[in-house]
Structure 1
């Protein structure tokens, strides 16, 4: 078989096997899952998530998802827990233990210690009859029949299933908390997702130059204004109202069709009724307007008064694009 075809076949089979494993989880989500979610929601403590090996890697991702969606969570490695880190767990914390087999040596040592402290123990495991499964207060069934690994050894389908159960848990808690896009922005102020939720046009216009000319401004002065403000555009303003726009493109077209610029003024070459956006609108709305109309700058107004310019470079710099 051609090596490329073989690679593609293996990749497709891996995706198919894992997708089937995820599909098989749907009927396993039951009242015990719902009770575990409610237990966490009603708790005054944090969620401590622990595991070992690949399950520990999955635990760190679930912790990140919970923290970013309104549920305080901390990762605790199972091996470290039995060598001093068990002090991480406080009285009201809920502990989620992730283990495919539920019978690893570290888990067998750790589980009784958690039970002795009196914390609620939630298991994410593929084996409900395991030591972990029988000791946990709630079991979130992440059973898989086969790994994507052809030898049925490397954790693949099982870790994917654990991750999906963790996401389902996080989204259920998000829904119970009524966690909104505004809440999400509070937890992601520096990321592009957060900026899409809180960054406004005014945050961009206030950092830019504010090029403007009047309808009767001489073309030479229009060129100087556009060059000086370095945004490739100027608003044509009369009585503080935007009446037109002149871009670099307008100037190039003028130069290609006009032998002399003598006597020409802004109103002779400006485009009337330019695309505009409210200065209080979200920056992502400016991006969408630019994309829809195939433009790289847009004029902003505040209650009809010229407020400034947003350039596509502003959006790129902020990570919106």
Structure 2
């Protein structure tokens, strides 16, 4: 963890960072950064569908033991989903992860299908403010323009919003991967955090809290045609239900016919013991000229079988089952498909 980088991050402002692609032509083959000008990035092939985006978002619990085994299983599951998607719709994919730790990032950047087909925003936690954070994978058939983080000043848990701008035709689509403040301790913070993220989604430039106005970095950001925000919003309180509307954001689950408060939409509370009731903690929100086509949950009931024998014990009872099934994570993941509407005047 580069704590010098952490100290330089400006809260409530865009902090630009590079993104990376795996270059097999290097000796040895390795990930390399892409920073403007992006002359060293691979160009998207001709004929790429430019009117749709396939989004996946998943919080992989960092507090549960066997992190590497669980993340390995999650990546295998996602790789299978991606292969199925490529055989059917085939639209470009973006994947949001929350609660990543260093071992997760290593496993992601070692995964063959990720190396072959995706850009990655983070190879290390150097742009996080804590030992865990968010990372985003962007289909290499898309054209990323910039990546920036907006650390939430009002956050005891050092949370942030990770933005990626992708160019589609002549328009900018802004993608936001975020993890809002957790549970009861964050009830008063989450609406403020979501409001800040929404200002960048709408293109009305975030501004600093010292009354000096927007920074030059905020002013340099283009206004997107549309924006999508997804992640673990820790939404379980009444304030969380109304916050998206107060930020002029639409809810993809509701837009495609889901019902608020219906158990079928709950994403958390079934795969982890808790004092809190199940709820729709994870959401996909959007704004601008973009239309949700489909929404579903993924990863429900996903477990791995692990050896729980204690190697320090001199003897193990042969009658005991040495294996146990454990949840890969405590959250269900989200899958949403969007169609990008034509620009006005086209």
Q: Same fold (TM over 0.5)?
A: no
| Structure holding more strand per residue | 2
Larger RCO, structure (CA 8 Å, separation 6 or more): 2
Give the TM-score normalised by structure 2. Answer: 0.21
Q: Which has the larger radius of gyration?
A: 1
| Structure holding more helix per residue | 1
